[in-house]
């Protein structure tokens, strides 16, 4: 930091006339006076008037635009449900859940019947039924364990008659249904179950 010449202090304090200084010192005094004037001047504050007038002159948005803006603005919604109405609402939901609407069951022909396949296979990942009714094709008719209790079920509409069948567990294990009406031996030395499909319409 450069020291200021004492004569400059004297000029700034009014103790010495500026003409008594050399040209270079007079320029230093002028620069200092200009800097002090700049620092002492108040900073211009931005006027609010142009912004306020711009908002006033802005055209009024249409109803559609206001509606879109209202819909797009997040709002908190509070529902107050009285106990009586909440019980009625729960009852309606339960009825809609338990009673399938428009479910009339499978369409059964005159010479067709319903075969129900049930097998208990706890821990199984998949169970299918194969038999003479589907050319022993694995994977075509799947059983479901709806309650996750190991009891697998399927209902199939078949033409009336007697059919041999087996269960295929996890795609590998072929198991006969020991609860079937009959068991017969096949040409591979295994036992096949027999299901007899009777006509549903009489």
Q: How far apart are CA 21 and CA 64, in angstroms?
A: 76
Pair (116, 193) in one structural domain: yes
User: How many CA atoms, within 13 angstroms, populate the side-chain half-sphere of residue 57?
Assistant: 6
> How large is the average pLDDT for residues 106-114?
79
In a domain, 27, yes or no: yes
pLDDT tens-place string over residues 129-161: 999 999 999 888 999 999 999 999 999 999 999
pLDDT at 97 over 50: no
Whole domain around residue 54: which residue ranges? Answer: 1-59
CATH code of 123's domain: 2.60.40.10
pTM score = 0.47
Pair (191, 116) in one structural domain: yes
Sequence-ordered list of residues with C-beta below 8 angstroms from that of 18, at least 6 positions apart, any chain:
11, 26, 29
The pLDDT of residue 82 is 60
The pLDDT of residue 98 is 45
Largest CA distance in the chain: 136
In a domain, 95, yes or no: no
In a domain, 71, yes or no: no
Mean pLDDT of the chain: 78
pLDDT tens-place string over residues 41-75: 665 555 667 776 666 666 777 788 778 877 777 76
Q: Report the domain count for the chain.
A: 2
The pLDDT of residue 105 is 55
Q: How far apart are CA 142 and CA 155, in angstroms?
A: 10
The pLDDT of residue 100 is 43
In a domain, 106, yes or no: no
In a domain, 73, yes or no: no
In a domain, 76, yes or no: no
The pLDDT of residue 31 is 85
Q: State the pLDDT confidence band at 99, using cuts at 50, 70 and 90.
A: very low
In a domain, 107, yes or no: no
In a domain, 68, yes or no: no
- Which two structure tokens, joined as six digits, stand for 10? 């004297």
| Residue in 13, 12, 16, 14 with CA at minimum distance from that of residue 35 | 12
The torsion region of residue 8 among left (phi > 0), alpha (psi -120 to 50) and beta comes to alpha
Find out whether 200 and 113 touch, Cβ atoms under 8 Å. yes
pLDDT tens-place string over residues 163-180: 999 999 999 999 999 888
Residue carrying structure tokens 């900073």: 43
The pLDDT of residue 86 is 57
DSSP tag of 89: H
């Amino acid at each position: 930091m450069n020291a200021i010449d004492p004569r400059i202090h004297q000029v700034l304090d009014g103790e010495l006339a500026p003409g008594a200084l050399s040209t270079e010192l007079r320029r230093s005094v002028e620069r200092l006076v200009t800097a002090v004037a700049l620092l002492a001047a108040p900073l211009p504050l931005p006027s609010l008037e142009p912004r306020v007038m711009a908002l006033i002159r802005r055209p009024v948005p249409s109803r559609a635009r206001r509606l879109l803006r209202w819909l797009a603005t997040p709002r908190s919604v509070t529902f107050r449900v009285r106990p009586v109405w909440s019980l009625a609402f729960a009852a309606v939901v339960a009825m809609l859940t338990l009673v399938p609407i428009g479910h009339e069951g499978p369409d059964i022909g005159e010479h067709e019947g319903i075969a129900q396949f049930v097998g208990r296979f706890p821990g199984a990942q998949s169970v299918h039924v194969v038999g003479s009714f589907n050319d022993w094709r694995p994977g075509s008719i799947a059983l479901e364990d709806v309650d996750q209790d190991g009891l697998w079920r399927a209902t199939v509409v078949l033409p009336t008659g007697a059919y041999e069948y087996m269960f295929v567990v996890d795609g590998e294990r072929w198991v006969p249904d020991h609860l079937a009406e009959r068991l017969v031996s096949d040409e591979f030395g295994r036992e096949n179950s027999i299901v007899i499909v009777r006509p549903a319409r009489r």
